[in-house]
């Protein structure tokens, strides 16, 4: 039987050329697998036919938008996943769901190898290959760009020689990856980190310097998941799509950072994630109302580690699964409404309410009805500061106390 290779297929130039390139280099039959995670663009049937026209023996297409939103974006939201406190792991969370469909296709068609279009310098090669071998350790992985010397120029020449039904151009300077959670742009003139992004970099967001009238939105959560927007029930996918539209119109979610890649390189990345950033801001604020103080502190540590694991391609790792359990437990009481004003690049929270929150007006108020017994504060401070008081007394007894002479002189002056 002829060897078969499943290729992660986008429908673009590089992966279209990779079908024939892989066959020529290995002799294997190529099965193209395209997964829709909300990246927009062409119809899946058009993409499937193009793969067949480019030489694939079979082409599998999957509409995974709801799956991606529910099983991948929502866990990222519950974790408040922001790598380096900025990047909402747009590409990182899409790789495991694409991988699941690649592995399923490999098993269905008896393929021994899975191929992807990543280079040897980026994070995605790690994410794909670690995820593939985590789900199916028997599968091998290849990357035509990295392993079979498929460059952009060679791809264009190959497509023109073979008459492949794909547009060939050398003019687009950017490398772009997008899905419903956001859009990532790199390379080209952006590699000079002094250069400012020009307006043609952005697609998901309008210029925040020229915003329309401010947009007020109320997002309702149940156990950390958005379930209604302005009172209207929404699925996770619908929540992201609506917030992409509304926050994007206000220029919310533009991110420009120098990022620490897994492979050790610092890379300049520009992201657009209007829906993700607005939803994370709302979710974080609701957690401030509903999570107990120590639980909230520890969850930030867990969320940071969860984000690092996902960024590093460890979605299916044992530790990430264990952290999922903790994060899910923290979301039990993350229920309620967050009101936000979207305007001029900002998503500003202006109101919160929760039936399961820990905010008590009668304890917080300084006005009539104050239920807080202030007479307890003196004893609390004595006990709270006792350890530090004892340590300070020891320092003084051993001549190591703080030198307050200069401060005292200044006070006298």
Residues making up the annotated binding site for L-citrulline are 87, 123, 127, 175, 259, 271
Catalytic one of 4, 14, 36, 267: 14
Catalytic one of 134, 175, 317, 354: 175
Catalytic one of 95, 183, 246, 268: 95
Tally of CA atoms within 13 A in the half-sphere of 21 that contains its CB: 29
Among candidate residues 88, 91, 93, the one with its CA nearest the CA of residue 347: 88
Residues making up the annotated binding site for ATP are 8-16, 117
Catalytic one of 36, 124, 177, 206: 124
Q: How far apart are CA 187 and CA 202, in angstroms?
A: 14
The reply to whether 95 belongs to the active site is: yes
The reply to whether 360 belongs to the active site is: no
Query: Do 253 and 182 meet the contact criterion of CB atoms below 8 Å apart?
Result: yes
Query: Do 18 and 115 meet the contact criterion of CB atoms below 8 Å apart?
Result: yes
CA dihedral 171, 175, 179, 181 (to 10 degrees): -130
Strands in 113-115's sheet, in edge-to-edge order, are 58-63, 29-36, 4-8, 113-115, 140-142
Q: How far apart are CA 196 and CA 192, in angstroms?
A: 9
Residues making up the annotated binding site for L-aspartate are 119, 123-124
Residues making up the annotated binding site are 8-16, 87, 117, 119, 123-124, 127, 175, 259, 271
Both tokens of residue 409? 């002189």
- Bridge partners of 221? 226, 336
- Going by DSSP bridges, is the β-strand pair 4-8/113-115 parallel, antiparallel, or unpaired? parallel
Phi and psi, residue 80, nearest 5°: 50, 50
The reply to whether 85 belongs to the active site is: no
The reply to whether 395 belongs to the active site is: no
Q: How far apart are CA 78 and CA 61, in angstroms?
A: 29
Both tokens of residue 361? 């007006």
**3-state SS assignment for residue 330:** helix
Helix axes 274-290, 236-249, angle to 10 degrees: 110
Which residues are marked as active site? 14, 95, 124, 175
């Amino acid at each position: 039987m002829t060897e078969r290779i499943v290729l992660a297929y986008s429908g673009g130039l590089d992966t279209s050329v990779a079908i024939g390139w892989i066959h020529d280099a290995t002799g294997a039959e190529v099965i193209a697998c395209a997964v829709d995670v909300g990246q927009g663009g062409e119809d899946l049937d058009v993409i499937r036919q193009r793969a067949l026209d480019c030489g694939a023996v079979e082409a599998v297409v999957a509409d995974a938008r709801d799956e991606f939103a529910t099983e991948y974006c929502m866990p990222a939201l519950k974790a408040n996943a922001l790598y380096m406190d900025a990047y909402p792991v747009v590409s990182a969370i899409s790789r495991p769901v694409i991988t699941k469909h690649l592995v399923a296709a490999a098993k269905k068609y008896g393929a021994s190898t899975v191929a992807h279009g990543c280079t040897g310098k980026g994070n995605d090669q790690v994410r794909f290959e670690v995820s593939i071998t985590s789900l199916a350790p028997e599968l091998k992985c290849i990357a035509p760009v990295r392993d079979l010397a498929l460059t952009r120029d060679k791809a264009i020449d190959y497509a023109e020689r073979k008459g492949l039904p794909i547009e060939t151009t050398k003019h687009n300077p950017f490398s772009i990856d997008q899905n419903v959670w956001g859009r990532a742009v790199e390379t080209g003139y952006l590699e000079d980190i002094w250069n400012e992004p020009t307006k043609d970099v952005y697609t998901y967001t309008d210029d925040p310097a020229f915003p329309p009238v401010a947009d007020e939105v109320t997002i309702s959560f149940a156990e950390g998941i958005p379930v209604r927007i302005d009172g209207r029930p929404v699925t996770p996918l619908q929540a992201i799509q609506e917030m992409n539209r509304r926050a994007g119109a206000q220029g919310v979610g533009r991110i420009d950072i120098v990022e620490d890649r897994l492979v050790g390189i610092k890379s300049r990345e520009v992201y657009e994630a209007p829906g993700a950033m607005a939803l994370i801001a709302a979710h974080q604020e609701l957690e401030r109302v509903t999570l107990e103080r120590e639980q909230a502190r520890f969850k930030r540590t867990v969320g940071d580690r969860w984000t690092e694991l996902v960024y590093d391609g460890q979605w299916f790792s044992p530790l990430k699964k264990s952290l999922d359990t903790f994060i899910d437990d923290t979301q039990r009481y993350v229920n309620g409404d967050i009101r936000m004003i979207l305007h001029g690049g900002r998503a500003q929270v202006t109101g919160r309410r929760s039936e399961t929150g820990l905010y008590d007006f009668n304890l917080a108020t300084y006005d009539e009805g104050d239920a807080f017994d202030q007479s307890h504060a003196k004893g609390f401070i004595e006990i709270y500061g006792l350890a530090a008081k004892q340590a300070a007394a020891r320092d003084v007894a051993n001549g190591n106390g703080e030198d307050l002479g200069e401060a005292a002189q200044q006070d006298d002056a």
